[in-house]
Amino acid sequence: GAGVSQTPSNKVTEKGKYVELRCDPISGHTALYWYRQSLGQGPEFLIYFQGTGAADDSGLPNDRFFAVRPEGSVSTLKIQRTERGDSAVYLCASSETTAGELFFGEGSRLTVL
Amino acid sequence: DQQVKQNSPSLSVQEGRISILNCDYTNSMFDYFLWYKKYPAEGPTFLISISSIKDKNEDGRFTVFLNKSAKHLSLHIVPSQPGDSAVYFCAARPFGAGSYQLTFGKGTKLSVIP
C-alpha cells in the first residue's frame, strides 16, 4: 500500500541489546516523526525530521536513543543498551509539509525482557 | 505534568445514541486541536480537527466543540455505530515554534454496544 510502513511489527529483545526500528514514510512526504506509546499512555513525541536533518530531537529520552534519515526518506530509530522501560509501541508518522496532517504507521512493538 | 487530559479511560454507549468524549488542556500556547481514532494493532488515524479561532467544526456524524475560556474540547458522535468502537485520542499543537509537535492525551476507549 501507499501508507507509512514500519518494520518489524514486533521485536522481543533482552536487556542490554541493541535494536533498530525502521520507518518507510509515504512517498514525497518531507516531514517524518517518531512517537512512543507506552502502555496506558498516549503517543509521546520523540524526534522530528525535515528532509535529512533532525530538526527537533528534544523528545528523545536519553543518549541511548538515536535516529537517522540519511536520504530524506527511510528513517531508522536506534536504541542502544535497551532497558525494560524502553518497552513500548514506537510509532512513525509522516506529513507532506511541516504541521500538515500526520499519517501514522502501525507501529513497532518493542518488548525488552 | 499532563498538558492534555482525557479523564475518562472508557465509555460505553448504545448504538444509535450520542457519544461524547471530553478533553481538557492546560497549555495556553495550544491553538490547534485534533482527534485521532485508533483500532487495535493499527496506527492512529486523523478524525477531525479544530482551530482555536472556531468553536465548532462538523464532519458528518462527528462534531468537535472548543471552549477556549474553559480550555475544554469535546467530540460528539451522532449516531454512534459499532464500527466507532476504538480508542480516541485528543491532541493539541502550539502556534509558532514547535507547531509540528503534537501533545496527546491518554485516550478514551469507546465501546458502542449493538
Task: State whether residue A41 sits within 8 Å of chain B by CB.
Answer: yes
What is the domain range of residue A69? Answer: 5-101
Mean per-residue pLDDT over chain A, rounded: 94
- Report chain A residues whose CB lies below 8 A from the CB of B103: 45
Instruction: Name residues whose C-beta falls within 8 Å of residue B69's C-beta, 6 or more positions apart in sequence.
Output: none
Q: Write out chain A's pLDDT in tens, 113 residues.
A: 589 999 999 999 999 999 999 999 999 999 999 999 999 999 999 999 998 888 899 999 999 999 999 998 999 999 999 999 999 999 999 999 887 889 999 999 999 99
CA-based nearest distance B100→chain A, Å? 4
**Counted domains in chain A:** 1
Closest CA to A90 of A55, A51, A61: A61
- Report chain B residues whose CB lies below 8 A from the CB of A99: 93, 99-100
The C-alpha cell that represents A21 in the structure block: 526500528
Flag whether A106 is in a domain.
no
CA-based nearest distance A109→chain B, Å? 9
Flag whether A78 is in a domain.
yes
Task: State whether residue B30 sits within 8 Å of chain A by CB.
Answer: no
Q: Do B43 and A106 touch (CB under 8 A)?
A: yes
Flag whether A109 is in a domain.
no
Domain ranges of chain B: 4-113
Flag whether A112 is in a domain.
no
The C-alpha cell that represents A105 in the structure block: 504507521
pLDDT in tens, B33-76: 999 999 998 999 999 999 999 999 999 999 999 999 999 999 99
CATH number (domain holding residue A17): 2.60.40.10
> Which chain A residue lies closest to B47 (C-alpha atoms)?
A101
B4-113: CATH superfamily: Immunoglobulins (2.60.40.10)
Closest CA to B68 of B108, B105, B26, B8: B26
What is the spatial distance between Cα B36 and Cα B29, in angstroms, rounded to a whole number?
Answer: 20
Give me the torsion for CA of A2, A28, A7, A10, rounded to 10°: -70
Q: Do A42 and B106 touch (CB under 8 A)?
A: yes
